[in-house]
Amino acid sequence: MWRRVIRSRGFILLIFMIIFSFGILGQVDTRMHIGGSDWDLDSLIYINIDDFIVDETTVTNTVSLDGIMSAQPQPELPVEVGADLDVQVGVKQPVATSAPIQEANSKEEVVPPVAEPPKVEEKKEERPTIFVHKVHPGETLWDIANAYGITVDTILSANDLRDPNRISIGQELQILSVKGVLHSVATGESLWEIAERYKISMDEIAQANSISDPSRLQPNTKIVIPGATRLMPRDVLIVNGQLQKAFDWPTRGRISSPFGPRWGKMHNGLDIAVPTGTPIKAAADGRVTFAGWNGGYGILVIVDHGNGVETRYAHNSRVNVKVGQKVERGQIVSYSGNTGVSTGPHLHFEIRYRNNPVNPQTYLK
């Protein structure tokens, strides 16, 4: 019996020695389940000690709670700066090879060149061209207009022609490349005045003629008035300090009393006999400075034409304008009558220069 006990104890001691020797050599699982149940033989694995000799490029073995994982050399993974690291303990991380990366780097991304937007050159407004056409035998204004692609009215307006049927061989006609008229600047005429007369803005005229300084418009310069249908030249009343024959008749009728001495006095105007209510028109452009009753003149209208020139319209039955109103040549300013010192219905018309009466017949066209 004791021999059996000694033998069994010796066998047990042998087993512990073997186990202890395995523990020293590192050939047994560190989990010995002391005080536990049966041995887990699956946990007894072979470990090669050479595998634990690592260099700087290997990754330290991670220990799982479930068992000892074999340490394998792991290549250093490229880590993107700022990226999240998703490394789990005991989980073998996928090894990224450098081939795809090199392939991706070798293929340079082709970026199509960005086309620059086309440069848009500012379209410069060209001044309308003025052609000079010499009339040939058998040529009519209609033939000339068709040849230049314009209308007969444009030729008439540009050349101030009254009758389209009256042109002569060798006559030089000015042909505009645009619809409009060719205006000759009169002495003392401003661009503002021209624009007002033609009812076209100053900017349009200046742009069409490349006028940079409208205040320096020279007399006798010919400028194009774009869009105008008829020529409206200014009848210059004063040239070099002298009155010109440039006034329109305010009305037509029999002259009942001329300018000059009469009944021992000076008659300062021209009397034109017309029925009461006859329209009386402005002899030139100007501004109304008086409209109403004025002693022996009766109902009187006075128009100031600038440069010391004024006209007077007396013995009217009524007025058609107000003080300060701008009037144009030919505009009705009053209606004839027999008011004031008068012997019958008529118009008493005066032209004054620097407040001195002059003979109207000398300056009426």
CA distance 164 to 32: 131
Q: How many CB atoms lie within 10 A of CB 310?
A: 20
Task: Please indicate, yes or no, if residue 86 is contained in any of the structural domains.
Answer: no
Torsion of CA 63, 66, 69, 74, to 10 degrees: -60
Average pLDDT over residues 24-39: 45
Whether the predicted pLDDT of 45 surpasses 60 = no
Instruction: Choose the final residue of a domain: 37, 53, 69.
Output: 53
CA distance 65 to 43: 12
Task: Please indicate, yes or no, if residue 97 is contained in any of the structural domains.
Answer: no
Average pLDDT over residues 3-10: 61
CA distance 354 to 241: 11
Of 228 and 75, the one with more pLDDT: 228
CA distance 154 to 132: 14
Q: Which stretches within the chain are classed as H helix?
A: 2-25, 99-106, 141-148, 152-159, 191-198, 202-208, 360-363
- Predicted confidence at residue 316, as pLDDT, reads 98
Whether the predicted pLDDT of 19 surpasses 50 = yes
173 token code pair:
């006609």
Q: How many domains does the chain have?
A: 3
- Predicted confidence at residue 199, as pLDDT, reads 85
Average pLDDT over residues 151-177: 81
Of 122 and 205, the one with more pLDDT: 205
- For residues 262 and 209, membership in a common domain is answered with no
Residue with tokens 């021992």: 264
At 274, which amino acid appears? V
Q: Do the Cβ atoms of 236 and 246 come closer than 8 Å?
A: yes
214 token code pair:
């409208």
Task: Please indicate, yes or no, if residue 91 is contained in any of the structural domains.
Answer: no
Task: Encode pLDDT of 213-265 as tens digits.
Answer: 888 888 888 888 888 877 776 677 887 788 988 899 999 999 999 999 998 99
Task: Please indicate, yes or no, if residue 113 is contained in any of the structural domains.
Answer: no
Task: Please indicate, yes or no, if residue 74 is contained in any of the structural domains.
Answer: no
- For residues 271 and 230, membership in a common domain is answered with no
Task: Encode pLDDT of 100-110 as tens digits.
Answer: 444 545 455 65
- For residues 163 and 219, membership in a common domain is answered with yes
Residue 191, domain CATH: 3.10.350.10
Q: Do the Cβ atoms of 319 and 292 come closer than 8 Å?
A: yes
- Predicted confidence at residue 182, as pLDDT, reads 82
- For residues 303 and 345, membership in a common domain is answered with yes
What percent of the chain is predicted at pLDDT more than 70? Answer: 65
Chain-centroid distance of CA 329 in Å reads 38
Q: Where are the beta strands (DSSP E) in the chain?
A: 130-134, 172-176, 180-184, 222-226, 238-239, 242-243, 254-257, 260-262, 265-267, 270-273, 279-281, 286-293, 299-306, 309-319, 326-327, 332-336, 347-353, 356-358
- For residues 304 and 223, membership in a common domain is answered with no
Task: Please indicate, yes or no, if residue 148 is contained in any of the structural domains.
Answer: yes
Residue 303, domain CATH: 2.70.70.10
- For residues 230 and 287, membership in a common domain is answered with no
- Predicted confidence at residue 249, as pLDDT, reads 96
Task: Encode pLDDT of 320-344 as tens digits.
Answer: 999 999 998 999 999 999 999 999 9
- For residues 262 and 352, membership in a common domain is answered with yes
- Predicted confidence at residue 333, as pLDDT, reads 98
- Predicted confidence at residue 112, as pLDDT, reads 59
Kindly report each contact of residues 150-155 with a partner whose C-beta sits within 8 Å and lies 24 or more positions away, as own/partner: 150/175, 150/176, 150/179, 151/179, 153/229, 153/230, 154/179, 154/180, 154/181
Of 39 and 145, the one with more pLDDT: 145
- For residues 253 and 359, membership in a common domain is answered with yes
- For residues 310 and 356, membership in a common domain is answered with yes
Task: Please indicate, yes or no, if residue 251 is contained in any of the structural domains.
Answer: yes
Global pTM exceeds 0.85: no
- Predicted confidence at residue 307, as pLDDT, reads 87
Task: Please indicate, yes or no, if residue 93 is contained in any of the structural domains.
Answer: no
- For residues 228 and 255, membership in a common domain is answered with no
- For residues 197 and 228, membership in a common domain is answered with yes
- For residues 257 and 188, membership in a common domain is answered with no
Determine the structural domain holding residue 42 and report its residue range.
1-53
